[in-house]
């Protein structure tokens, strides 16, 4: 019998609405045939079938204020002192590396972007692994979860590191599953014969669990004596396998633990940690919040913590939970509206069904969360984020983490680039001479076409505007709490 998910949000009330929702038994045979023909494993097929079943049910189960309570306090990383280095031999570090960064205009792994000092995200991760191994005198287990779209390029890039990052008894990667795209009109499997690869999409990082099971990676890890897993996103270069956190997780006896950071006004629209009346933890995303509760959802003084996607998992507990649920870990379903060819906005409108791995906190009785400093959270989701990390507002530590510079007092610069710089290629035309200095910048707003000369320094809140059609250059100099019209 399946665990009842705490929340499912698959209401068909998005940009691409469906007028009539077909029955599951009317559409499933075509998906099953397509996925089996593609050679997908039973765990992948089972996970997608569950998600599609949620979509065709039209379920819209929200999480109102009346059903939850705020979490007032969490254990604090800064108060941890105990370490047990022996646990490192029982732990595997997994980096999720399946993202193509299509939202940033990329058609390759986002982790292959040159970020700082001539290094890509993958270079930073490889150097982090090497540093951890040298510091602890052991080959800490390291594995990537790639996607069908990132595997080849990733492995080719990491060949230069060879045995320095390989784990003797493990493959360097296991691949996440792919899922069929769903036509917004009729919920049939999407077809795009000119580019058949566009008919498939990554199913979100919640696919970690069926991918571990379906590739036999979970069973293999357990057979080889691994008990714990630390997992984080490859675009978060602040997240390394911290020994104090590992020791706390083991000592806590929790089956699952989430690293949370304190919410600020900049985080108020993102999901937050909460608890049920029985004290068990859950995540509430904005799509799960009724309109009338929106003000409380954004109340960061009430709901104080958000998920960083740095997670700790007891592998035996994961296996047991999935076995009890017929190989499925029921998670809330996220429905993203897209076009079948992301580069062709006139192509067929589709839905991509995804799940988030952090939502699994509700699937494990006794799951815990812990408050971490922002130094463990520096993700890149947009070109706004990328510009900040490229700049001097972030620095590289001796163990190759990317952390906010101390002079920023824990608050990153708030960057709002013109939509013309949404894609990475366009961002690079803004900074052909390298990024500006942002270490003393609180907010930077860019409107219009422009480029920065070498030697541009922003301090305080600065807005730069060009209303002309042609691009103009912002001259070298220091700009402090001002609006500049080119």
The mean per-residue pLDDT over the stretch 187-196 comes to: 95
**Nearest-angstrom CA–CA distance, 189 and 31:** 6
Question: Which is nearest to 398 in space by CA: 163, 152, 142, 135?
Answer: 135
- pLDDT value of position 120: 93
Span 125-180, pLDDT tens digits: 999 999 999 999 999 999 999 988 889 999 999 999 988 999 988 999 999 999 99
Highest mean pLDDT among 19-28, 75-84, 372-381: 75-84
Helix (DSSP H) and strand (DSSP E) numbers for the chain: 11, 26
Span 17-39, pLDDT tens digits: 445 788 999 999 999 999 999 99
- pLDDT value of position 339: 95
Is the pLDDT score of 100 beyond 80? no
- pLDDT value of position 17: 47
Pick the CATH number of 383-485 from 1.10.10.1100, 2.40.110.10, 3.90.1150.10, 2.160.10.10: 2.160.10.10
DSSP H or E run through 350: strand 349-354
CB-based contact 77:244 (threshold 8 Å): yes
The mean per-residue pLDDT over the stretch 430-459 comes to: 97
DSSP letter, residue 369: E
Determine the 3-state secondary structure of 417 from DSSP. Answer: coil
The rounded radius of gyration (Å) of the Cα atoms in the chain is: 23
Is the pLDDT score of 11 beyond 60? no
Q: Count CB neighbours of 27 within 10 A.
A: 20
CB-based contact 182:353 (threshold 8 Å): yes
Q: What are phi and psi of 309, to 5 degrees?
A: 65, 20
- pLDDT value of position 4: 37
Q: Are strands 60-61 and 437-447 parallel, antiparallel or unpaired?
A: unpaired
Is the pLDDT score of 289 beyond 90? no
**Nearest-angstrom CA–CA distance, 150 and 98:** 6
Topology (CATH level 3) of domain 8-376? Spore Coat Polysaccharide Biosynthesis Protein SpsA; Chain A (3.90.550)
Is the pLDDT score of 221 beyond 70? yes
Q: Provide the angle, in degrees to the nearest 10, between the axes of the packed helices 24-37 and 42-57.
A: 160
The mean per-residue pLDDT over the stretch 284-290 comes to: 84
Question: Which is nearest to 344 in space by CA: 222, 195, 182, 166?
Answer: 195
Is the pLDDT score of 103 beyond 50? yes
- pLDDT value of position 333: 85
The mean per-residue pLDDT over the stretch 181-193 comes to: 95
Q: Which part of the chain has CATH 2.160.10.10?
A: 383-485
CB-based contact 113:387 (threshold 8 Å): no
Bigger pLDDT: 250 or 406?
250
Percent of the chain residues past pLDDT 70, beyond the cut: 94
- What separation in angstroms does the CA of 197 have from each of 149, 180, 183, 345? 9, 10, 15, 16
- pLDDT value of position 148: 81
Span 237-271, pLDDT tens digits: 999 999 999 999 999 999 999 999 999 887 888 88
> Could you tell me the pLDDT band of residue 299, with boundaries at 50, 70 and 90?
very high
Is the pLDDT score of 9 beyond 80? no
**Nearest-angstrom CA–CA distance, 281 and 365:** 9
User: Which two structure tokens, joined as six digits, stand for 166?
Assistant: 């390989």
Q: Which part of the chain has CATH 3.90.550.10?
A: 8-376
DSSP H or E run through 157: helix 151-158
Q: Are strands 272-275 and 173-175 parallel, antiparallel or unpaired?
A: unpaired
- What separation in angstroms does the CA of 18 have from each of 11, 180, 187, 334? 10, 18, 8, 16
The mean per-residue pLDDT over the stretch 197-226 comes to: 94
If you average pLDDT over every residue of the chain, what do you get? 90
Percent of the chain residues past pLDDT 90, beyond the cut: 76
Bigger pLDDT: 204 or 317?
317
CB environment 385-409: b (16+ within 10 A), e (fewer): bbbbbbbbbbebeeebbbbbeeebe
Q: Are strands 334-339 and 256-262 parallel, antiparallel or unpaired?
A: unpaired
- pLDDT value of position 61: 55
Q: Provide the angle, in degrees to the nearest 10, between the axes of the packed helices 121-136 and 151-158.
A: 50
**Nearest-angstrom CA–CA distance, 271 and 38:** 35
Question: Which is nearest to 71 in space by CA: 376, 239, 283?
Answer: 283
> Could you tell me the pLDDT band of residue 60, with boundaries at 50, 70 and 90?
low
Determine the 3-state secondary structure of 64 from DSSP. Answer: coil
Cβ neighbours of residue 234 under 8 Å, at least 6 residues apart?
Answer: 95, 96, 97, 99, 110, 111, 121, 122, 125, 144
User: Which two structure tokens, joined as six digits, stand for 343?
Assistant: 């580069």
Is the pLDDT score of 13 beyond 60? no
């Amino acid at each position: 019998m399946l665990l009842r998910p705490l929340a499912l949000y698959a209401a068909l009330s998005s940009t691409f609405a469906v007028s009539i929702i077909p029955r599951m038994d009317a559409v499933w045979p075509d998906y099953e045939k397509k996925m089996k023909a593609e050679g997908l494993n039973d765990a992948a097929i089972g996970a997608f079938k569950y998600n599609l079943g949620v979509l065709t049910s039209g379920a819209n189960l929200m999480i109102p204020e009346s059903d939850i309570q705020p979490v007032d306090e969490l254990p604090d990383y800064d108060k941890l002192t105990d370490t047990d280095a022996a646990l490192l031999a029982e732990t595997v570090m997994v980096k999720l590396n399946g993202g193509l960064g299509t939202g940033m205009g990329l058609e390759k792994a986002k982790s292959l972007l040159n970020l700082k000092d001539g290094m890509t995200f993958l270079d930073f991760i490889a150097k982090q692994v090497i540093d951890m191994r040298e510091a602890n005198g052991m080959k800490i287990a390291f594995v990537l979860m790639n996607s069908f779209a990132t595997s080849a390029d990733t492995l080719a890039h990491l060949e230069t590191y060879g045995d320095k990052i390989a784990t003797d008894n493990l493959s360097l990667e296991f691949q996440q599953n792919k899922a069929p795209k769903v036509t917004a009109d009729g919920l049939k499997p999407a077809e795009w014969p000119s580019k058949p690869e566009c008919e498939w999409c990554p199913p979100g990082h919640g696919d970690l669990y069926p991918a571990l099971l379906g590739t036999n990676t979970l069973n293999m890890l357990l057979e080889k004596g691994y008990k714990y897993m630390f997992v984080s996103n490859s675009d978060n270069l602040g997240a390394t396998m911290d020994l104090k956190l590992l020791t706390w997780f083991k000592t806590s006896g929790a089956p699952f633990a989430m690293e949370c950071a304190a919410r600020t006004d900049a985080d108020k629209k993102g999901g937050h940690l909460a608890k049920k009346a029985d004290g068990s933890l859950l995540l509430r995303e904005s799509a799960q919040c009724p309109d009338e509760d929106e003000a409380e959802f954004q109340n960061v003084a009430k709901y104080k913590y958000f998920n960083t996607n740095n997670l700790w998992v007891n592998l035996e507990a994961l296996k047991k939970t999935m076995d009890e649920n017929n190989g499925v870990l029921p998670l809330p379903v996220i429905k993203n509206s897209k076009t079948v060819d992301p580069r062709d906005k006139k192509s067929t409108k589709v839905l991509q069904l995804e799940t988030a791995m952090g939502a699994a906190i509700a699937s494990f009785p006794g799951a815990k969360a812990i408050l971490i400093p922002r130094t463990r959270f520096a993700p890149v989701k947009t070109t706004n984020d990328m510009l900040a990390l490229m700049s001097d507002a972030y620095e590289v530590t001796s163990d190759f983490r990317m952390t906010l510079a101390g002079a920023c007092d824990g608050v990153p610069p708030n960057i709002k680039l013109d939509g013309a710089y949404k894609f990475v290629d366009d961002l690079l035309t803004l900074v052909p001479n390298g990024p500006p200095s942002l270490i003393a910048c609180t907010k930077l707003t860019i409107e219009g076409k422009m480029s920065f000369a070498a030697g541009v320094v922003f301090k305080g809140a600065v807005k730069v505007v060009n209303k002309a059609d042609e691009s103009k250059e912002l001259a070298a100099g220091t700009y402090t709490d001002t609006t500049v019209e080119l």
